[in-house]
Structure 1
Amino acid sequence: MEIKDIQKLLDFIANSGLDEVNIETGEFKVSVKKNAAATYVTAAPAPVAAAPVAAPQPAAPAPQPAAAPVAPKADDSKYLTIKSPMIGTFYRSGGPDKPSFVEIGDDVTTGKVVCIVEAMKLFNEIESEVSGRIVKVLVENATPVEYDQPLFLVEPI
């Protein structure tokens, strides 16, 4: 399903009397609810070729300790990188009052949720594809990210 298809689905739901729609295929599962809490979708990393869409920003999250955005340097080559699989807004936690999914020094394993990227009002849980220890957070909370942008540096263990 492409982003334009998702947008058409969201427009259809907004203009219909439906309060909830669930779609499931072999590749993905989408659940959309009107006037409900945020819906979280687990996304497998896949290229998304689309321009960013301006969306209303959620209420400002509570200040959280975060590393300043830093571009990976040559001496960071010994680290593995967790990259964004899509364009959207990066969030370190599931909500303003919830703790970050991972902090610097935390151990991660393949499949562990490390952040959320919001795209087109869908909150996509981003899972680690590597195992190791988080050594750097490369993106500020609640900031836009691009496809394939480095989010975290991980030291293999």
Structure 2
Amino acid sequence: MAKDNFTDLEQLLAEFEASDLTELHVRHGDLEIFLSKDADAAGLGGGPVQVSTAKAPVKAGKAANPSAATASAAPAVEIPEGAVIVRAPYLGTFYRSPKPGAPSYVEIGQDVSDETEMCLVEVMKLFTAVRAGCSGKVAAILVDDGAMVSADQPLFAVMPA
């Protein structure tokens, strides 16, 4: 996304947040955005919002290290060979649990399926559940709870079943 377009999107999000609107649906060319202040609102397809995760094998010994200066991550973790990386859908705040004080969605060693919710990423009070996208076992959690993450930043490593 071009810098000017990103700035325009940030401005749209800020104006929506400051407004009395509860939902906003914008379509411009191939870009379609649905914003809601209701955590239970349906997404663009009418169902719950789901985010597909990019699956990229990582070579053994490679440490997760985001390139964006604004993102923050847990200390470098060795990612097992053949692990599937679950990535952030966009820039936002990473939450391991559905609300403060609640148990984390997943822990290291836990079995997950394609549809297992692993975390939330929040931007401008819009929370998106990030799903595993594969079946396997959580091998690593790559980001600290409450940290700012960048788009496409590795969040979890899952060893496929």
TM over 0.5: yes
Task: Answer yes or no: is 1:69 the counterpart of 2:71.
Answer: no
**What is aligned with 1:31?**
36
**What is aligned with 1:87?**
91
**What is aligned with 2:127?**
123
Q: Identity of paired residues, percent?
A: 35
**What is aligned with 2:140?**
136
Q: Deviations over 1:16-65 (max 9, x none)?
A: 5x36335498x7643225xxx89897352489xxx96xxxxxxxxxxxxx
The root-mean-square deviation of aligned C-alpha atoms, in Å, is 3.7
Contact 1:40 1:123 in 2 (8 A): no
Q: Residues 120 and 7 from structure 1, CA distance in 2 versus in 1: closer, same or farther, beyond 3 angstroms?
A: farther
- In 2, distance between residues paired with 1:40 and 1:143? 26
TM-score (norm 1): 0.64
- In 1, distance between residues paired with 2:53 and 2:140? 23
Task: Answer yes or no: is 1:44 the counterpart of 2:51.
Answer: yes
Q: Residues 11 and 120 from structure 1, CA distance in 2 versus in 1: closer, same or farther, beyond 3 angstroms?
A: same
- In 1, distance between residues paired with 2:160 and 2:16? 45
Contact 2:53 2:88 in 1 (8 A): no
Task: Answer yes or no: is 1:113 the counterpart of 2:117.
Answer: yes
- Structure 1: gaps of 5 or more residues: 53-67
Task: Answer yes or no: is 1:150 the counterpart of 2:154.
Answer: yes
3-state SS in 2 of match to 1:104 = coil
- In 2, distance between residues paired with 1:90 and 1:13? 19
- Structure 2: gaps of 5 or more residues: 44-48, 55-68
Amino acid aligned to 1:44:
V
3-state SS in 1 of match to 2:37 = strand
